[in-house]
Amino acid sequence: MSIIIHVDMDAFYASVEVRDNPALKGKPLIIGSLPQERGVVATCSYEARKYGVHSAMNIKEAYRLCPNGVFMHPNFEKYRAVSNQLHEIWNTYATASEYIALDEAYLDVTDSAGTWERACDFAHLIKRRTLEELKLTCSVGVAYSKAAAKTASEEKKPDGYFEIPTAQDFVDLIIDRDVRVLYTVGAKTAEKLNRAGIHTVRDIQEHRDEVIRSFGKQGEWMTQLAFGIDDRKVSPYKPEDAKSISREVTFQEDVDDYSFISDVLLLLAISVERRAARVGLYGEGVTLKLTFSDMKSITRSKLIPASRAAAVVHKEAGRLLDQVPHKPVRLVGVGIYHLVGENGRQLRFEDFMPEMKERQEEYTRAALERLGHRYGLDFAGNLDKIFHAETLYRTIEYMRKHR
């Protein structure tokens, strides 16, 4: 039998900010965009949740519900640093770790613990060390499977602990709960199930054939979970498992100046290049994403010889930009896809001709220099700082206002 621990930090971003600024304690803290900006809630404190605020909510709606809340931008560099510290603690106890986000992970402790009792000791140690060493709380579930461990960690939030030793214990816990307790069931799937008269996990069990007939493979998976069956393994994340590497930005006011959008694409392309270089990946395709003022989005893509060079990404994204209808733009993004590692890519001309790589780098340097003159910014001297998420956003907004 497998023994899986699921760890989920409590309101992670907000908790980190409260830890670092005790004056925020007890206040409805909302992290994401500011009320006067476009955007959504990234996360919020439990005090803000009492007002109905939740992640992914439009920031204007969050402000309507909680006008006295404390609104602030996220500091992703800080959260990543804290996440790395968390991983060091978690990895002490696991033979395999699968990180779902900066603040959440599945830990396989089957072999490292050896017994159920020892696994539960590990879970308590994780909670204690997280509090003592990082001054943060987490909710932890111990179970026989990933789905059950996830359910267990949510059972007593915040700062919770719960165990689900067997499949029967899992079924007994969820049998009369709404179908959305099963992690594969989202809002649209639940709506379709409800229309068929299926509202609870018990209903899925009793209408197993109908669910499979209506939902195919997803239906098979739902019915298995309804009976407590989940044999998925904890799969450590590998960078090459990612489907794409991208970066996007939402403008605070719609933009119809496509030369400015091309300038923004350069900065996003450099950010993509840096991200790809950190994990040693190249893309065999470039994507351009635009969301227009009417909220309609389009994505355009083009296959390329494997590359991550900002010059290549910017040029190809620019060509794609030239082919789209010129309407006011709310959001722009660029990325690479069909990712391959160093060993998986075919050799390109620049592998044999270093001068080609130098030309790509010169293209980027010259383009940044032109941007610097155009907007009165020192890109060369502040490049590392600029590509932190919050600084990049502010830089682009400054450019938009001073174009």
Please spell the DSSP secondary structure of 247-262, one letter per residue: EEEEEEEEE--HHHHH
On whether the CB atoms of residues 133 and 6 are closer than 8 A, the answer is no
- Residue in 234, 3, 231 with CA at minimum distance from that of residue 98: 234
Q: Is 177 left (phi over 0), alpha (psi -120 to 50) or beta?
A: beta
What are the structure tokens assigned to 118, written together? 């020892």
Give the Cα separation of 85 and 257 in Å (integer): 43
Degrees, nearest 5: CA angle 95-239-384: 120
The angle, 0 to 180 degrees and rounded to 10, between the axes of the packed helices 217-226 and 208-215 is: 150
347 CB burial (10 A radius; 0-12, 13-18, 19+)? exposed
Question: Annotated catalytic sites, by residue?
Answer: 104
State in Å, rounded, how far the first CA of the chain is from the last one.
62
- How far CA 2 is from CA of 22, 113, 165, in Å, comes to 40, 11, 10
What is the DSSP code (8-state) at residue 335?
A: E
Closest CA to 280 of 254, 255, 260, 306: 306
Q: Which residue has the tokens 């955007």?
A: 39
CA 256 from chain centre, in angstroms, equals 29
Contact 87, 126 (CB under 8 A): no
124: which 2 tokens?
Answer: 């308590």
Two tokens, residue 107: 């830990």
Tokens at 379, concatenated: 């890109």
